[in-house]
Structure 1
Amino acid sequence: MSGRRVAVLGATGLVGREMLLTLEQRNFPVSELVPLASERSEGKKVTFRGEEVTVRAVKEDSFKDVDIALFSAGGKTSKRWAPVAAASGATVVDNSSAWRMDPEVPLIVPEINPGDVKLAEKKGIIANPNCSTIQAVVVLYPLHKAAGLKYINISTYQSVAGTGKAAIESLRDGSKAALAGEGYDEKVYPHGIAFNLLPHIGPFDGEGISEEEWKMVNESRKIMHLPELRVSGITVRVPIFRCHGESVTAQFERPITPDEARAVLSKAPGVVVRDEPKSAEYPLPLDVAGTDDVCVGRIRRDTGLDNALAMWVVGDNLRKGAALNAVQVAELLL
């Protein structure tokens, strides 16, 4: 297999560094790495395959002869530079929300809709879904194929890593201050995150539905090719450093028992079943952090809906929720 010239825009951020690690761990055929970032990060060093590589400031000619460009630098940056990269001949895999709902841009989770990669020919851009959406649909889609998904309700418990390095520092500093009985000025969230829960991820619309909640609705439908799927829920930021948890209720067209669901999910790619609640065996963020699979447990009959199951889903938002999914998409391009 011939090597590819791979650019990573946002190489110094949490997800960018995780992308570099994932490329290395999966032995992606990188002939040359081009780490890119804003001007303020120019000259910094990142490590790839045991060697330090100098970060360059992104410019008009940064993507010359680049085959694949992995973006993790925010929606505004992506809108500016993804078309430039694509015009230079690169295929962009973008981790921001900038392109996800563009009808000419595929939104891909490789375990679900790998065939949509062909749609990238239109704009040269592939969108990486929202982290919470990815881990939910990886579990839900195999069950949909077995019993016909009709409705889902998802409550998320999202770590501060989803906001970036500043949020991790804020949680750490706020926790120290709270334990010391001292005050703390929260700089990242609208309220202090330490020892707190914030039902507020992204701006609210006129109905009080948050941007993150709409992502769960619209992206789930697009990825699974279920435009009429009913989706509801709430997204909550919680004071943990890494991994997202989700309480998921799924209603189906046909009956499906918890045992049948476990059998289906035990064979599903990218899914691990941990479901022995009587032995206190269920997915935990501390166990899942740094791993690639989405873990599911507490699978049980829902007590309020017919033909419905409830379950608990945990995934590493920096791995499968971002970097790993992007690299898997890049592997499809090979």
Structure 2
Amino acid sequence: MGYKVAVVGATGNVGREMLNILAERQFPVDQIVAVASRRSLGTQVSFGDKTLTTKDLDTFDFSGWDIALFAVGSEATKKYAPLAARAGCLVIDNSSLYRYDPAVPLIVPEVNPEAIKGYAKKMIIANPNCSTAQMVVALKPLHDRARIKRVVVSTYQSVSGSGKDAIDELWNQTKGMYVPGQEVAPSVYPKQIAFNVIPHIDVFLEDGSTKEEWKMVAETKKIVDKSIKVTATCVRVPVFVGHSEAINIEFEEHLDEDEARDILREAPGVMVIDKRESGGYVTPVECVGDYATFISRIRQDSTIDNGINLWCVSDNLRKGAALNAVQIAELYGREILKKG
């Protein structure tokens, strides 16, 4: 049995990646459609060896479609996701619009697959923030063993998390550094991103944190355990694809670094590459195009009683967005549609 699947926002970075991953994972598709805004109407995108011509989101009828993967901004999602849901089509939304709605499941399939049962309240499932998704894949198996009290995370997030314009800005600024008179002023970001790091992602909140940092706190609590304390510093770095995170974890009980390493080696979605030698760790360049969340630099934190440090890297366009959405669709098909 196959499903009728719509990819909404199919011409963007994440939408194209959704189509790639659906094809790569041989998702059981009977019919697939690429949907985009009117300005992208008629644009062609690839699905495996097929070429799809985009349909107009404004006039698209979701009746009879099983699953819609949304990769558009919150404003468009606010308008069109309820229309799809009312037509009986499950919406898997990559925007932040529904993540904090108590009636909408926020799912990372390796972490909280049981939450899929809550889909029926609104026919909408939320995909978490890219920085949260990879972190909770690493946290959950350790939490199950030793109960996490507190997480301190610093992120090193690639520009692809801001979209195509940000990728272009990094590329053009980098080229402009070497050609006198062709310097490129910041547009997407408040400061130069080439050869620089910017400790500012999303808007600032009253307490001095940014919304990206707040997202990591709120989403970790919703996905893993509301009792976990999280503090985050989110930083944009001059990397095209791949988010990295330095994570410090404090547990309720002692967890030896060797046991932590063994637990993570067996964890779904995780690949441990942790050799204590030059190059014995994973960097963003090496994770691009891969499904896994890579963990390196696992070591005891001697400054607290029950602490572990680790380095976490993942392709943010995949696990942080498109892959996780497709995995939710697989889970929905397996647990709900087939059983229904």
Q: TM-score, normalised by structure 2?
A: 0.96
Distance 2:50 2:227 in 1: 49
Task: Name the CA distance, whole Å, in 2 between partners of 1:39 and 1:233.
Answer: 38
The whole-number CA distance in structure 2 between the counterparts of 1:296 and 1:179 is: 35
- CA distance in structure 2 between the partners assigned to 1:219 and 1:91 by the alignment: 21
Give 2:137's aligned residue: 138
1:68-87 aligned at under 5 Å gives the runs 68-87=67-86
- Which whole-Å deviations, capped at 9, do the CAs of 1:201-243 have from their partners, x for residues lacking one? 000011111000000000000001x112110020000000000
Could you tell me how far apart the structure 1 residues matched to 2:289 and 2:61 are? 31
Q: Residues of 2 paired with 1:114 and 1:180: CA distance?
A: 51
Partner of 2:226: 227
Question: Where does 1:1-334 land on structure 2 (aligned, <5 Å)?
Answer: 2-182=1-181, 183-224=183-224, 226-334=225-333
Say whether the 8 Å CA contact 2:37–2:58 is kept in structure 1. no
CA–CA distance in structure 2, aligned partners of residues 328 and 288 of structure 1: 18
Letter paired with 1:313: C
TM-aligned CA deviation for residue 61 of structure 1: 4.2
Contact 2:24 2:48 in 1 (8 A): no
| Counterpart amino acid of residue 15 in structure 2 | G
Q: Retained in 2: the 8 A contact 1:60–1:84?
A: no
Provide the rounded CA distance (Å) in 2 between the counterparts of 1:214 and 1:111. 22
Counterparts of 1:60 and 1:54, CA distance in 2? 15
Give the counterpart letter for 1:140 in structure 2: L
TM-fit CA distance, 1:3:
1.3
- SS of 2:69's equivalent in the other structure is strand
**TM-superposed deviation, 1:99:** 0.2
AA aligned to 1:123 is K
Deviation, 1:49, is 2.4
Cα distance in 2 for partners of 1:61, 1:23 equals 21
Task: State the AA in 2 paired with 1:51.
Answer: K
Deviation at 1:60, TM superposition (A): 4.9
Q: Which string of whole-angstrom CA distances, capped at 9 and with x for unpartnered residues, describes residues 25-50 of structure 1?
A: 00001111111111000011111121
Q: Structure 1, residues 118-150: CA drift from partner, whole Å, max 9, x if none? A: 101000000000000010000011000111111
Q: What is the DSSP-based 3-state SS (H/G/I as helix, E as strand, rest coil) of the residue aligned with 1:104?
A: coil
In 2, Cα distance between the equivalents of 1:147 and 1:228?
A: 14
Distance 1:263 1:51 in 2: 42
- 54-63 or 262-271, larger mean C-alpha shift: 54-63
Partner Cα separation in structure 1 for residue 290 and residue 142 of structure 2: 23
CA–CA separation in structure 2 for the residues paired with 1:316 and 1:264: 22
Q: Secondary structure at the match of 1:277?
A: coil
Given that 2:155 and 2:233 are in contact with CA atoms closer than 8 Å, whether structure 1 keeps it comes out as yes
Letter of the 1:98 counterpart: L
2:336 maps to: none
Amino acid at match of 2:211: E
What is the number of equivalent residue pairs in this alignment? 332
The one-letter code matched in structure 2 to 1:238 is V
Aligned with 1:250: secondary structure? strand
The runs of 5 or more residues in structure 2 that have no matched partner are 334-340
Q: Is the 8 A contact 1:43 1:54 kept in 2?
A: yes
Counterpart Cα distance in 2 of 1:178 and 1:305: 44
Displacement after TM superposition at 1:279 (Å): 3.9
% identical aligned pairs? 49
Q: Contact 1:63 / 1:90 at 8 angstroms: preserved in 2?
A: yes
Q: Distance in 1 between matches of 2:303 and 2:51?
A: 55
State the secondary structure of the residue aligned to 1:152: strand
Could you tell me how far 1:181 is from its partner in structure 2? 4.2
* Cα separation, 1, equivalents of 2:155 and 2:300: 20
TM-score (norm 1): 0.98
Which range moves more in the overlay, 54-63 or 307-316? Answer: 54-63
| Counterpart in the other structure of 2:337 | none
Aligned to 2:338: none
TM-superposed deviation, 1:77: 1.0
Output the CA distance in 1 between the equivalents of 2:100 and 2:62.
24
CA RMSD of aligned residues (A): 0.9
- Secondary structure of residue in 2 paired with 1:184: coil
